[in-house]
Structure formats: C-alpha cells, structure tokens
Structure 1
Amino acid sequence: MNVTSAVVLFAVIWFMVLFVVLPLRLKTQGEDGHVVPGTPESAPVDPRIGPKVKLVTAISVVLWAVISAIILSGVVSITDLDISGWLGAP
C-alpha cells in the first residue's frame, strides 16, 4: 500500500466514523424548548464539534492501523473480495 492509498483509506474511515459519532449525545433545540427563530427544531443546541473530532480521530487511527495491518499482511486481498470474478483467478 503506497502513501496515497493509506491517506485515502484514513480519510474514508475518518468520515465514516464522523457520521456515526455526530448524532451521539445530541440535544436539539426542540428538546431544549428554545427554538431560535429561523432555525428548525432539529438544529443542535450545542453540537460540541471539538471533542467529537478528537474522538473520531482517535477511533479512526485505531481502525486505520488494524485495517492497514490486515491489508499489508496479505490475509485479505482484493481478489478475495471479488465476488463477480472480474479480476480473474489468482
């Protein structure tokens, strides 16, 4: 795996984890009872992006390390994931 592949893998993992973590512990304006005019009730009161980004980065580094180790070890290759047979037999 070259550097570009590693960076792309990390970016994909980071954004997937971000979309999982963003709605956790989210309190909406509707739940709080104070809706700012011009915003929907589902808008967050305090999204706390900073701690969530730190958590997402920590989780992503661990997941990236595990997935990279699996890819580099050769335990799973792209031909193992080829269910349609387009890549040909190894």
Structure 2
Amino acid sequence: MTIGGGLAVYFVIWWTVLFVTLPFGVRSQAESGDVEKGTDPGAPVMPGLAKKAVATTILAGIVFCIVWYVWTNLDI
C-alpha cells in the first residue's frame, strides 16, 4: 500500500466511523424539554463534535491498522 493509497483508505474509514459515532450520546431539544423557536425539535442540544472527532480518529486508526495488516500480510 502506497502512502497516497493509505491516506485515501484512512480518509474513507474516518468518515465511515464518524457517521457511526454521530448518533451516540445525543439528546434532542424535544427530549430536554427546551425547544427554541424556529428550530426543529429533533435538533441536538449539545452534539459534542470535538469529542466525537477525537473518538473517530482513534477508532479509525484502529480499523486502519487492521485493514493495513490484512492488506500487507494476506496479499489482498
């Protein structure tokens, strides 16, 4: 796997893992009982995107290491 190929694979894995982690720990305005006028009741109150970006980076790194190991050692 080349450096460019590795970066491309990591990029795809990172975005996939981000979409997996986004729904965890989110409370909607309707659940918290404080819906601001003009917003959707399902809008998140505190999405915590910084924490999710860090968690996504760590999880994507682990998944990438597994993919890299399989790719290099099993000749896929």
Give TM class, smaller chain.
over 0.9
Runs of at least 4 residues of structure 1 off by over 4 A? none
In 1, distance between residues paired with 2:19 and 2:62? 17
Between the two structures, name the one with larger relative contact order (CA 8 Å, sep ≥ 6): 2
> Where does the alignment leave 5 or more consecutive residues of structure 2 unmatched?
none
TM-score relative to the length of structure 2:
0.94
Name the counterpart of 1:87: none
In 1, distance between residues paired with 2:23 and 2:13? 17
In 1, distance between residues paired with 2:11 and 2:47? 22
Q: Which amino acid aligns with 1:46?
A: M
How far residue 36 of structure 1 moved from its aligned partner, in angstroms, is 1.1
> Where does the alignment leave 5 or more consecutive residues of structure 1 unmatched?
78-90
How many residue pairs align between the two structures?
Answer: 76
Q: Which amino acid aligns with 1:25?
A: G
Identical pairs, percent: 29
Name the counterpart of 1:25: 25
- Map of 1:7-86 to 2, 5 A cutoff? 7-73=7-73, 75=74, 77=76
| Bigger Rg, structure 1 or 2 | 1
Across the aligned residues of Structure 1 and Structure 2, the Cα RMSD in angstroms comes to 0.9
Structure with more of its chain in helix, by fraction: 2
